[in-house]
Amino acid sequence: MDFQESEFFIFKMKEALETIIIDVRDTAPGLENRAAFEAYKATIQGPNGSLTAVMKSMGKLLREEKPAMGKLINEAKAEINEALSQALATIEAAELTAKLGSAIDPSLPSVEGDRGTLHPIAQVREEMVALFQRIGFSVAEATEVETEYFCFDALNIPKDHPARDMQDSYYLPNELKMQNVPKHKEEQYLLRTHSSTVQIRTMLQKNPPIRIIAPGRCFRRDTPDATHSANFHQIEGLYVDQDVSLTDLKATLDYFVKTIFGPKAKTRLRPSFFPFTEPSFEMDFFSPDLGKLSNKWLEIMGCGMVDPEVFKAVGIDPQAYTGFAFGMGIERIAMILQGVDDIRYYYQNDLRFLKQFA
């Protein structure tokens, strides 16, 4: 090849490269899918491709012209690759979109369902237990089926005592045996009428110091109405140690009331009578922030110093130890806190009711 021929050849090669670049720039963005892309790419870079042809013709060039032409080809290649890979990215993006399906509508609700809810009574129970746990009470439990001894006698409520009238009990048949509720002697089984049974079971198992909080289900033979249901829940507290005083009781109950009803709540202890405490009190509280129930004394619990007779029943020396105990209805507290005026709502479990306390 002479110089002139060579000049012409180089000119032709350059022209071919430019044509390819222009073609790729024009065509690549319009390629709609991977197959079209691959087919087109083969027309450029495949064995019979136009770029491949240009590169093959390099061999015909004079040696001194090869570097400059090589550079040109590489630049053109880069430009072509860039255009092709952009086209490929677009195709891949379109493919992905197609694969992912149509766009979401963020305004539609999830059908996974709402987060579950703890029952409103459970919420109050757990809040109460937790606040007593913070001042060193640990949780105790006992059975719902109990015997007369643990429900009454050991709590200083003898058989012919008028105090047994204060709560009518559900009894279980005489002949029944409970495999996992030990009896004291041959007394009858019943459904516990109060959570105070846990005091007895705990004191029989452990030596002082004892500081327990015992939430549990109780039963009374009451006709159901807005404030009574066949079963309800109580929470019982007991603290026995050397030198537990009445002042300690008041401090504990004040802490409870202010924590659960707010710092503006006030308490008062009204002397009362329970066979298992002496002195005994009803505790009332008073709060300015309770809606309809604001600014009146509301009775919420019975409490007092553990009666020496109870200590004797469980084998604790009343000379060496003193203690206080308190018990209250969880539904009562829940109704006050949640503004519920009929206890039966709690046992219906209408989801619309339950969700109000989510």
Task: Find the part of the chain contacting other proteins (CB under 8 A) among 10-18, 34-42, 52-60, 225-233.
Answer: 225-233
Query: CA 35 to CA 53: how far, in whole Å?
Result: 22
Cβ closest to other proteins, residue 37 vs residue 302: 302
Cβ closest to other proteins, residue 24 vs residue 240: 240
Phi (first) and psi of residue 184, to 5 degrees: -80, -60
Q: Does 226 bind other proteins (CB under 8 A)?
A: no
Cβ closest to other proteins, residue 61 vs residue 198: 198
Query: CA 156 to CA 154: how far, in whole Å?
Result: 5
Per CB under 8 A, the list member of 173, 263, 291, 315 interacting with other proteins is 173
Q: Does 337 bind other proteins (CB under 8 A)?
A: no
Best CA proximity match to 238, nearest among 202, 191, 281:
202
Per CB under 8 A, the list member of 10, 36, 72, 145 interacting with other proteins is 145
Residue ranges in 79-108 that form contacts with other proteins under rule CB under 8 A = 108
Residue ranges in 185-204 that form contacts with other proteins under rule CB under 8 A = 188, 191
Query: CA 213 to CA 255: how far, in whole Å?
Result: 15
Q: Does 14 bind other proteins (CB under 8 A)?
A: no
Per CB under 8 A, the list member of 156, 197, 199, 229 interacting with other proteins is 229
In 10 A of CB 74, how many CB atoms?
A: 10
Query: CA 316 to CA 337: how far, in whole Å?
Result: 37
Residue ranges in 56-75 that form contacts with other proteins under rule CB under 8 A = none
Task: Find the part of the chain contacting other proteins (CB under 8 A) among 1-9, 68-76, 77-85, 208-216.
Answer: 208-216
Per CB under 8 A, the list member of 51, 149, 156, 215 interacting with other proteins is 215
- Amino acid letter at 322? T
Cβ closest to other proteins, residue 113 vs residue 315: 113
Q: Does 271 bind other proteins (CB under 8 A)?
A: yes
Return all residues near 250 (Cβ < 8 A) that are at least 6 apart: 267, 269
| DSSP secondary structure letter of residue 289 | S
**HSE-up of 43 (CA within 13 Å, CB side)?**
12
Q: Does 161 bind other proteins (CB under 8 A)?
A: yes
Per CB under 8 A, the list member of 4, 102, 174, 295 interacting with other proteins is 174
Q: Does 111 bind other proteins (CB under 8 A)?
A: yes
Q: Does 246 bind other proteins (CB under 8 A)?
A: yes
Per CB under 8 A, the list member of 163, 204, 260, 298 interacting with other proteins is 163
Q: Does 250 bind other proteins (CB under 8 A)?
A: yes
**HSE-up of 54 (CA within 13 Å, CB side)?**
25
Q: Does 127 bind other proteins (CB under 8 A)?
A: no
Number of residues that bind other proteins (CB under 8 A): 93
Residue ranges in 274-303 that form contacts with other proteins under rule CB under 8 A = 278-282
Angle between helices 330-338 and 246-261 (to 10 degrees): 40
Angle between helices 246-261 and 120-133 (to 10 degrees): 130
Per the CB < 8 A criterion, the answer to whether 314 and 200 are in contact is yes
Q: Residue 42 in 3-state DSSP?
A: helix
Query: CA 327 to CA 333: how far, in whole Å?
Result: 12
